[in-house]
Structures are given as structure tokens and as C-alpha cells.
Chain A
Amino acid sequence: MITVSKRNPGNAERSSTFKPQLTSLVDVMTILLVFLIKSFSAEGNLITPSGDLKLPDSQSQECVRLINSIKITRGNICTDDKVIADIRNIEHSDSMMIPELYSVLSTNKKYNGKTELMIESDRDTPFEIIKKVMYTCSQAGKTDFTILVLREE
């Protein structure tokens, strides 16, 4: 409620009251509140996928855990948001091993002593690239793989 004073030259001070209509605002707030409660998650998002990859859809209901991950985007292979190899070079290579990835996995302390690894890959990535990444990872001692996917409703 807003009170406004109008000063007229001839009359004494006269006050009038404006009542803003809050009904529509309360309606919007209520709809917004219901939508947000529906998408509320106490855990929050543990992992934020990279912007330049589109994860595959899956019916899997297994909850996301924090595991060391490798990102296979449309153009590169990344670990810790650092580009370590170009996809085109890997495609043209006859070797199953990706030396840059192997050196990161075997020298970085973060990956030492852990056999579990998560692959975050674009849905259009050909299996040839996944195969070479998995082969390199297995050579570096990573044998348990998980794939990050978007949960289908």
C-alpha cells in the first residue's frame, strides 16, 4: 500500500492511497514455488558436465558418485578441464594407445591407486574413440568403468 500526497494550490493537503494488485504476483510466485519444490534436490548437482558435450540418455537409476573422470567432447579428450588430446589425431592413429592420456593417468597423483574411472562422453562419439580411451585406461590400471548419463524420465 502506497500513500501519495497531492498538493493543490487552492486546497489543503489531500492524501490518496494506491493499492497495487498483488494477486497475479502471488499466483506467479505460487506456480514458481511448486515447480522449484518439484525439482528440489537435497544433494545438489555433484557433477557439472562440460558444456561442449551432450551426454547420452539412459534409464539407469544409479546415483552419481564422485569419481575421477575423463571427458570426451566433440573435439578433445580432457581431464580436470585440461585438453590432453585431439580426437582427430586419435581417429587417424592406428595405435590403440593414447600416449598423452596414459602419461596423465600414470603420473598424476589424483589417479594413483584408484581403479575406478568415469567416462563423460558425447552421445555421438564413435565407439572407436571410447575403445582407445578404455584400452589406455586399462593399461594405466583402471579396470572399473562408469559412464555418466542423463536420466530419462
Chain B
Amino acid sequence: MSIRVTKQFSDNNVEEIIDVDVTPVMNMFIILIPFLISMAVFTQMSILSFSVPPDAGSGLDQSNGKPKLKMTIVVTNEYLAITHGEKMLDSIPIFDNNLTKNILLEKLKTRRNEIGEQNEVVIAVRDVVKFQNMVRVMDSCRSAGFQKIGLSSATADASRGV
């Protein structure tokens, strides 16, 4: 590596080449790069915690002794349904994963405020649903403010129990 320097004298131009010694820089690179390669993480991983429904929260309402109603999200391959007890609150058709996720997030935030800032939600998943879709719904629940997530199985035909 050289730097060309031109010095202006009164009578003529004199060109002088200064050599920069890069050997120490190269030595530093050669030591640093193997160290950094050994400590580099190319895929960032994290974990998602959940419980089976009985451990998701206290089961009984303290005021009347009846089971506490929790918001439930039914996950199928065709739609997502938000229910509270026997009441169907929303139904979101699945056509684009990102769009559906955003719609679900908005609906969950709205419904969570309406039913009194609950921190628990149950995700009921049909047998044929892929694991990735279930994780997306869990993400939306976390983003909407639900701290405790319970996982359960959804029957294809609830009236017949299958």
C-alpha cells in the first residue's frame, strides 16, 4: 500500500512515494477474524413459553365461584375465531399470513380492552394446523398483551365432540 505525495518546490515538482506498512494491521486482522468467527452467531434463537390450560391461571372466579371465562382463539387452516365463553367475538379468514396476523393483533387488542384487560388466553388448535401457524397466533397474543398462554386442542365438530 503506497501513498503518492507531490511536493511543490519553487523550481520543479518532485513526486515522492511513501510506503505505509500494513503488516501490523494485517496481523491484527488475522488474530481478530478467527476469534470473531468462533463467537459469531448466525441464527438468533429464542423461546416461547406456554402451559396446558389448567396451569394457565386460576380456574375459578373469586366473586361467584364459577369457572373464570377466558378468551379463546380457535385456530384452523381456513379461519381464526376469537371466542369468550360461548360467545363468538370475531372470525378472521386466513388468506395471507402477514395480513391475518395484523388483523388478529388489532382484534385481540380491541377485545382485550372490552373484556377487562385479561392476561390469560387459550389457543385451541385443530389437529391439521401446522406448527408455524400456531406459533404465529401465539406471537400475536404476546404482542396484544396476554402474558399467560394456554394451549388446547380444538375439535372439528364441537357439537358432535369430534
List residues of chain A with CB under 8 Å of any chain B CB: 19, 21-23, 25-26, 29, 32-33, 36-37, 39-45, 47, 49, 55-65, 118, 121-128, 130-131, 134, 138, 143-151, 153
Select which of B37, B48, B125 is within 8 A of A147 by beta carbon: B48
Contacts of B128 in A (CB 8 A): 126-128
Interface string of B45-83 (1 = CB under 8 A from A): 111111110010000000000000000000000000000
16 new A-B contacts, CB < 8 A, other than A62-B49, A151-B44, A151-B46, are A29-B26, A33-B29, A39-B40, A39-B42, A41-B40, A41-B41, A43-B41, A44-B39, A44-B41, A56-B131, A59-B143, A127-B127, A128-B128, A143-B55, A147-B138, A153-B44
The 5 A-B pairs with the shortest beta carbon distances in the complex, nearest first, are A36-B36, A128-B127, A123-B132, A41-B41, A151-B44
> Which A residue sits closest to B127, measured CB to CB?
A128
* Nearest chain B CB to A132 CB, angstrom units: 10
Residues in A neighbouring B158, C-beta threshold 8 A:
none
| B40→A36 contact, CB < 8 A | yes
**Residues of the B chain whose Cβ atoms lie less than 8 Å from the Cβ of A138:** 52
Asked whether any CB of chain A lies closer than 8 Å to the CB of B142, the reply is yes
Q: What is the count of residue pairs linking A and B with beta-carbon distances less than 8 angstroms?
A: 146
A64 in contact with B2 (CB, 8 Å): no
Name A124's closest neighbour in chain B (CB-CB).
B130
B134 in contact (CB, < 8 A)? yes
B36 x A37 contact (CB < 8 A) = yes
Main secondary structure of the interface of B (DSSP, over half): mixed
A131 B153 Cβ-Cβ under 8 A = yes
Q: Does B13 contact A (CB under 8 A)?
A: no
Distance of A47 Cα from B41 Cα, bound (Å): 11
A104 CB to nearest chain B CB (Å)? 20
Shortest distance from the beta carbon of A114 to any chain B beta carbon, whole Å: 15
Q: How far is the CA of A62 from the CA of B50 in the complex (A)?
A: 12
| Complex CA–CA separation, A36 to B129 (angstroms) | 38
Residues of B within 8 A of A36 (CB): 33, 36-37, 40
Contacts of A44 in B (CB 8 A): 39, 41
**Cα–Cα, bound, A41→B70 (Å):** 40
Within the complex, the shortest CB–CB distance from A30 to chain B, in Å, comes to: 8
How far, in whole Å, are A3 and B38 apart by their CA atoms in the complex? Answer: 36
Partner of B135, one of A39, A47, A145, A149: A149
CA distance A153 to B42 in the complex (A): 12
Partner of B49 from the list A22, A26, A39, A145 (CB cut-off 8 Å) is A145
Contact between B52 and A150, CB atoms less than 8 A apart: no
Is the pair B29, A29 in contact by a Cβ cutoff of 8 Å?
yes
